[in-house]
Amino acid sequence: GQVLELRAHSKTNSAIKALLNLVPPVARVIRNGEEQEIPLEEVKVGDLLLVKPGEKIPVDGVLISGTAVIDESMITGEPVPAEKEIGSKVTGGTINGKTAFEMKAEKVGSDTLLAQIIEMVNEASRSRAPIQKLADVVAKYFVQIVVLIATLTFIVWYFWGPEPALVFAFVNAISVLVIACPCALGLATPMSIMVGTGRMAQSGVLVKDAAAIEEMNKVDTLIVDKTGTLTEGKPSLKGYKSFGHLTDEDILRYAASIDASSEHPIADAIVAGAKEKGIELFKVADFESVTGKGVQAIYKNEKFGVGNQHLLDVFSARLPEENRKTAEEWQTGGQTVMFLVVGNKVEGMVSVADAIKKTSAKAVKELQKLGIHVHMLTGDNRFTAKAVADELGLDGFEADCLPEDKYNKVKELQQQGHIVAMAGDGINDAPALMQANVGIAMGTGTDIAMQSAEVTLIKGDLNGIVRARELSQKVMKNIKQNLFFAFIYNSAGVPIAAGVLYPAFGLLLSPVIAAAAMSFSSVSVISNALRLRKHQ
């Protein structure tokens, strides 16, 4: 049994080892304007690297020159190559297409995504699922019962068996003990977990431990964010309008100048839109992010703010009714509106739009078919949120959510008896990810989100959650099949070994045959677990 288990462990990890082999042994580094090849282990964070057509990317980093089409299928499980431009993240071990590009190394050695995948898979394969505790309890009592049956077998054959009674009693008692060896019972759960975690990793789904697989199988409610999960996460500038004496262009200039210090995708879209239109930005002082509401800064001794409806309360500003109607019209069209506040007056608004991912609608339907209710929680306004929810056919949504609202919503659903999965990618999602029965971090998100979650999706979209759900169902089904095989085998084998067939048919089971039968039960469990490797 141990030999078979070790062999299966080797097969399971072969795909993961193959990922490690994808990393090239050397890298082309550009130092002092000259290109030179150095061993991979000598690459340092910040090094400028050159990747030529068809080559493997040596480490994780960001593209700083050129464009690329990269095959990331070995990491994400997605067959379609990913297009990269300046500023795009690239992953070590993936394969470059037909163009050369320069990149800056950001993560090397054990910090790379591939190294983390290996570590997570190894840890998960060694962890124990809650269902294993049931198997352990059953095995504990099972062993005691088998010893009792073996003792009774010896007594019955010794006093009522044919001559030589002592030989018959001894042989049959030994046969009972041998055939009932709970190897198959002990292999049933860990084998499926080990093979399943390896298969999940190949599909771009990393699990922290076996308990996450079991919980994912039970999930009935999924909470997702809008930006970056349902949508592309790459909003673009759509419109800008003045409500007062400033020109429309002034509104965009002020908004972009204040947002220039922000890292939020919406702020990036506003700044990029202003630069595309050739608008010159100015520097502001005392920049401050107001979590879940927007940003504020000082310019020429006056306080400015750019943000959503909640920010107006911070500035004690009121939005006139006619301007509110205009904003609602934009929002109903799926645009996200940010207001420019000067002092305590709303001077204008800027809008951006974030296209819904092409894969989102299909993924939502697949999740609903799998019995999961999909709810969206977003900090965006209710009009934009409703437009997205209606288009995707979501089971529910909540708009204007602050970071703590996600955490509270998870607790509320759990109190109603739901098993909740939370998908997030930001620092503000970490509390909700920790509270959820299963926290799902998008691999495109922050390290804190990934540390807080039990499941990490290398490619951050809903299709990864569909794969995680399907694979968790397959693994749990496989575990139950293994436990069934082990119990049925022992239920049938022990009475035969004890000699119940002897009075009617004159048949006895020798210890040698019992040992072979016991080994066969282990083989059947391992073979069944290995079927998970072929799941598509």
In contact, 401 and 205? CB cutoff 8 Å = no
Q: Give the integer Cα–Cα distance in Å for 172 and 192.
A: 33
Q: C-alpha distances in angstroms, 187 versus 3, 180, 527?
A: 12, 14, 11
Other Cβ atoms closer than 10 A to 296: 21
How far apart are the C-alpha atoms of 57 and 49, rounded to whole Å? 9
Kindly list the catalytic residues.
225
User: Cis before residue 164, ω within 30 degrees of 0?
Assistant: yes
Measuring CA to CA, which residue among 142, 127, 148 is closest to residue 185? 142
266: Cβ contacts below 8 Å, ≥ 6 apart: 227, 235, 259, 336, 338, 352
CA distance 335 to 352: 6
The position carrying tokens 């995680």 is: 468
The full DSSP string for 99-135 is: S-EEEEEEE-GGGSHHHHHHHHHHHHHHS--HHHHHH
Name beta bridge partners: 341: 305, 346
What distance in Å separates the CA atoms of residue 35 and residue 51, rounded to the nearest whole number? Answer: 11
Contact partners, residue 70, CB within 8 Å, separation at least 6: 57, 81, 82, 84, 90, 94, 95, 96, 97
